Amino acid sequence: MLSLATISPHPPIIIPSIGGKDSLNQVKKTVQALKIASREAKKLGVQSFTIISPHGLILPDFMTASKASQLV
């Protein structure tokens, strides 16, 4: 059963080791929204996520999926 759905921007600068500490100020609202989504997922007891992204393996005639207990 679907418990929660989100659409989220995810600029690389939200990762301090990429954007530096000062860059977080530029994406403060995005980081806050991601934290809210995380709290909601925990509150609802979400056990699995489906993430659709253009950043994974892309094949012309197939849809690919990855399974992991933790995303890094």
Q: Is the pTM of this model over 0.75?
A: no
* Cβ pair 46, 3 in contact under 8 A: yes
Task: Decide: helix, strand or coil at residue 50.
Answer: coil
At 4-62, the pLDDT tens digits run 889 988 899 988 899 988 888 899 999 999 999 999 999 999 988 888 877 778 888 98
63: confidence class by pLDDT, cuts 50, 70, 90: confident
